[in-house]
């Protein structure tokens, strides 16, 4: 007999919000550079050594599970800090592909 999860069980949730960047002159717009600029304007945490931990994810693998062509190394700490901002609330503001993205901390 299959064990069922009670409907009143605690579930851990989090959300992600993807943002777009627009420019009046689309031919002069580089979305990746624009995303870096947006993320770069967010103030760093007081702990300068805080960086995103890639232990449980591989930034070189796409959503389909295939390794991205070209890149072969995980981001070094300085580049990691440009791509990712670990927030005081436990969330993350980061560059995902060519757009800024915000993920909330997980909560129950």
Distance separating alpha carbons of residues 104 and 91, to the nearest angstrom: 5
Catalytic residue among 25, 30, 53, 96: 96
- Based on the residue annotation, tell me whether 53 is a catalytic residue of this protein: no
Q: Residue 32: name the closest of 104, 85, 82 by CA.
A: 82
CB 19 within 8 A of CB 102: yes
CB 99 within 8 A of CB 31: yes
Instruction: Give me the active site residues, please.
Output: 96
């Amino acid at each position: 007999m299959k064990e069922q999860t009670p409907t009143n069980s605690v579930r851990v949730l989090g959300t992600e919000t993807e943002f777009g960047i627009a420019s009046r002159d689309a031919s002069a717009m580089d979305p990746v550079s624009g995303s870096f600029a947006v993320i770069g304007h967010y103030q760093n945490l007081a702990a300068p050594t805080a960086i995103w931990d890639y232990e449980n994810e591989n930034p070189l693998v796409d959503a389909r599970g295939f390794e991205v062509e070209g890149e072969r190394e995980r981001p070094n700490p300085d580049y990691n800090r440009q791509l990712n901002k670990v927030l005081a609330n436990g969330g993350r503001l980061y560059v995902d592909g060519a757009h800024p993205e915000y993920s909330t901390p997980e909560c129950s």
